[in-house]
Amino acid sequence: MPEPSKKQRPQSAGFFASPLRYPGGKGRLGPWLASVIEHNGLTGCRYVEPYAGGAGAALYLLLKKHVGHIVINDADPLIHALWHSVVEQTDELVRLIESTPITMGTRETLLEAVQRPNRHSLLELGFAAFFLNRTSRSGILTGGVIGGKDQAGPYKLDARFQREDLVARVRAIGAMREHITVSKLDALDLLDGFSSGAPDCTLIYMDPPYYVKGSQLYLHHYRHADHVAIAKCASTVKHPLLITYDNCPEVRTLYSAMRGTEFSLQYSTHTARPVASEALFYANLELPSSPRLTRSEHLTARRTAPRSEDAKTQERKGEYV
Ligand SMILES: C[S@@+](CC[C@H](N)C(=O)[O-])C[C@H]1O[C@@H](n2cnc3c(N)ncnc32)[C@H](O)[C@@H]1O
């Protein structure tokens, strides 16, 4: 994969609370989700992400006190191990982040560890997931190491590993552990619990693996039949529910019975509205507006977590690796 141009926006520019860099991450929707919560009288509610990934939106809503409790669920054992370590073993994870040499040798060792998960503790796997995410291009393991195997690129493998900044994020999340539930359920099993009984104050935000590119981005992805099953299950949920997907004809057909809109994960300017690459479907709530990312939201979100001087400098330069 060629190194992206330095002029590209930093992928993580929208939100800095999650320690994970996540393909398709929705952290930048945080401020808009906060407006949905307020509009529907859901402030202080429980917020559930059955497909949490980097959980950027969930963390934004919790740290900004829009919701009282978040459920971070992901079926990927590595992602689960990472969140378990952040929330339940914060100090131990911080020690590993602070002391582990950021070298190709460490990366090789941790790549081997994730091939044999049964031989390792949740903390070891969680740290491996963290390290590999922060040293891989765009946070995707299959994207290869930042700087290439021979480390000849302009950025080296530690380009996204600002220890001080990452430790601050992990500690901020760990401090909220009483308000966070981490689980590794299949999303369908988690959702089953929401299709019966009276709805309590809970908002569910589903962001399943992309229909078209899911297999390239996530270890755990869906086939057509899985997308059908999840759409059927979503239609039975009685709680306020939001679902985002890649905006393709198959997905629009699956959710044709639900109210929906389109949006882009790129920022709008006063002159240009980017292509609506994402689809949003919703039930049991009203939208105050369609999701639209603007500079002011971007700035609001960016102020949430303290950042190191290194991170600020990188961000000013618009570096992207
Ligand atoms: C589009 S990503 C979610 C990105 C997330 N919203 C964010 O902001 O980072 C989809 C996630 O679903 C997870 N996943 C895939 N199949 C799943 C399943 N059956 N149950 C729960 N999670 C699953 C993947 O591991 C991946 O992290």
DSSP 40: T
- The structure tokens 């991450």 sit at 25
CB atoms within 10 A of CB 77: 18
Superfamily, domain 27-317: Vaccinia Virus protein VP39 (3.40.50.150)
- The minimum-distance atom of ligand 1 relative to the CA of 22 is 9
In the chain, alpha helices (H):
30-39, 56-63, 77-88, 90-99, 104-115, 122-135, 163-174, 187-192, 214-217, 224-234, 249-254, 295-302, 309-317
Listed in sequence order, the residues at least 6 apart from 226 whose beta carbon sits closer than 8 Å to its beta carbon are none
Residue nearest atom 1 of ligand 1, based on CA coordinates: 209
| Pocket residues: Cβ below 6 A from ligand 1 | 22, 24-27, 50-51, 53-54, 56-57, 74-76, 79, 186-187, 207-209, 218, 220-221
Could you tell me the distance, in angstroms and rounded to a whole number, from the CA of residue 21 to the centre of ligand 1?
13
Identify the pLDDT of residue 168: 95
Measure the CA–CA gap between 263 and 283, rounded to whole angstroms: 17
Tell me the CA–centroid distance for residue 284 and ligand 1, in Å: 23
**Residue minimizing CA distance to atom 23 of ligand 1:** 75
In this structure, which amino acid lies at residue 40? N
Give the torsion sign (CA, 226, 228, 231, 233): negative
Ligand 1 atom nearest to 20, measured from its CA: 9
Sheet holding 259-263, edge to edge: 180-183, 69-73, 46-49, 202-206, 241-246, 278-283, 259-263
CA of 111 to the centre of ligand 1 (A): 21
The yes-or-no verdict on residue 81 having pLDDT over 60 is yes
List, for residues 194-248, the tens digit of each pLDDT value. Answer: 877 767 899 999 999 988 876 666 666 788 999 999 999 999 999 999 999 999 9
Residue 307 has pLDDT above 60, yes or no: no
- Give Cβ neighbours of residue 30 (< 8 Å, ≥ 6 apart): 15, 56, 57, 60, 61, 64, 301
pLDDT band of 269, cuts 50, 70, 90: low
pLDDT digits (tens, 9 = 90+) for 163-204: 999 999 999 999 999 999 999 999 999 998 887 776 789 999
Q: Which of 79, 215, 220 has the most ligand 1 atoms within 8 A of CB, as the residue to mutate?
A: 220
